Amino acid sequence: MTDTNPLIEPVQDSTEWYSGVGVAEAAADIKSGIESGNWIDVGIGFTGVGLEALSIVIDPLGSLTSAGLSWLIEHVKPLSDALDWLAGNADLVASHAATWKNVAKAVANVRDDYVRDVANDTGAWQGQAGDAYRAAAAGNAEVLGGASAAADGFGSAVEMAGIVVAVVREVIRDLIADLVGRLISWAAEVVFTLGLATPLVVAQASAAVERWAVRIAGILKKLARTMDNLLPLLRRLGDVFAQVRKVLDDLKAPARSGDELPIPGQTGGARPVDDGSLRAYDRIDRWAENAYQSIRESDDAADVARHVQGVPRAGGRTGFSQAEIEQIKNHVFEDLHPLEGADGGTVMARFDPNPNMAEAWLRLRSGRARSEDIALLEHELAEARYWQQNPNASYREAHGAANEVSRWENQVPPASNEDYSKPWR
């Protein structure tokens, strides 16, 4: 027997329950990326700040740094309204973060119970049937684990984003308070010198206002960069949830009966025929989700732009640039928008998959666009630009402004049963 060398570090097993599986490992990796904080701009000063920073919004007296002026800013409109617009509702942010964490924990508990029950109930099963059942159960457990990790990731993202915004809010509040304090001091100099110091004070005040404006603008740019860095991670978590839902839908869907089989010439990617039944509605809804996912993964913006480069547009213009098509695609299929939640509040989410929009995009990229599809491009581009120019606008406001340019919803064409799995080039 050889003695153990104290200088040799033992091998640490980094294997997790989700290692080697698809959905769960992807969700766990994204969650780790969010919690690492690498997406936060280094100039914000986030390090060491906890969730209690959110209380700045609702408890200014507990975190005053500039005494009376900071208190004044927190309590006098429109100054407090401006800062509240920047920071949002602290209680709501904390509630959403905690809710996602609760969902993650509940789903994880379900997964653990499921794995334990399968092990206990099938331990004595022998043969191919038992092996097949356990393999299927392992896949189900993976899906549950992925859903739990993704929900936990969303909770971390909401919590950390809320803290970042609260920190930025506090910094800007104190900068404003400091500037106002200086202006008051300089105004007093004018009074005490009977106006002799006016030229000097005016020069000092102008220079200070310009410097502070630059500093505040710089902080807000860092905040915008931070949120831009976070969005791709949230989109990837959204993709994980889409995969989870697809698997769960497949599990609960009954075996196809004869009348549900694809008609000759159709593939699995073709939009199902709508016969007016609830079953058809469900199939079309799932088709739209799968079509959206396929479109997100497709590099087709240049193809759409090429096919519509000569089409007439409103106002005598012609065609759409590739940059405009990319903006439209991101707006419809990728970006998060302030939408109305189930509780009447506002939630940041992607648009729900729309089978008619999916079909329009499939026609556009294959060079078979209808006039209604061009109207859709006009509408979505106008909506995206309105939000770009008015980032605090509601969906109703942005949609209404886009309808002034193109009211696509009143000219949706009949279904053409497009197939997202077919090559378009």
Rounded to whole angstroms, the Cα distance separating 425 from 419 reads 14
* Cis peptide bond prior to 78, omega within 30° of 0: yes
Quote the pLDDT of residue 189: 60
Break the chain into its structural domains and give their ranges.
Answer: 23-250, 300-410
The end-to-end CA distance of the chain, in Å, is: 68
Rounded to whole angstroms, the Cα distance separating 159 from 94 reads 7
As given in the structure block, the two tokens for residue 191 are 């009074």
Rounded to whole angstroms, the Cα distance separating 86 from 110 reads 38
CA Rg, the chain, in Å? 28
Residue 171, C-beta contacts closer than 8 angstroms, at least 6 positions apart: 45, 219
pLDDT band for 178, please (50, 70, 90 cuts): low
121-151 pLDDT per residue, tens: 887 787 777 787 888 788 788 888 888 888 8
pLDDT band for 258, please (50, 70, 90 cuts): very low
Cite the beta strand spans of 259-354 per DSSP E: 337-340, 346-349
The closest of 419, 373, 413, 379 to 399, measured between CA atoms, is: 379
310-340 pLDDT per residue, tens: 898 877 788 999 999 999 999 999 988 888 7
Q: Give CA separation, 125 vs 109, 119, 129, 260, 420, in Å.
A: 25, 10, 8, 35, 42
Average pLDDT over residues 192-220: 65
142-156, 227-241, 405-419: which range is least confident on average?
Answer: 227-241
Tell me what percent of the residues of the chain surpass a pLDDT of 70. Answer: 61
270-295 pLDDT per residue, tens: 899 888 777 788 889 889 998 999 99
Q: Is 192 exposed, middle or buried (0-12, 13-18, 19+ CB in 10 A)?
A: exposed
Residue 289, C-beta contacts closer than 8 angstroms, at least 6 positions apart: 242, 245, 246, 353
Beta carbons of 96 and 161 less than 8 angstroms apart: no
357-380 pLDDT per residue, tens: 999 999 999 999 999 999 999 999
State the Cα angle at 79 between 76 and 84, rounded to 5°: 105
Rounded to whole angstroms, the Cα distance separating 26 from 33 reads 11
User: Which contacts of 298-306 are long-range, i.e. CB under 8 A and separated by 24 or more positions?
Assistant: 298/365, 300/365, 300/424, 301/325, 301/326, 301/329, 303/365, 303/367, 303/424, 303/425, 304/329, 304/361, 304/364, 304/365
Rounded to whole angstroms, the Cα distance separating 329 from 381 reads 9
Beta carbons of 100 and 178 less than 8 angstroms apart: no
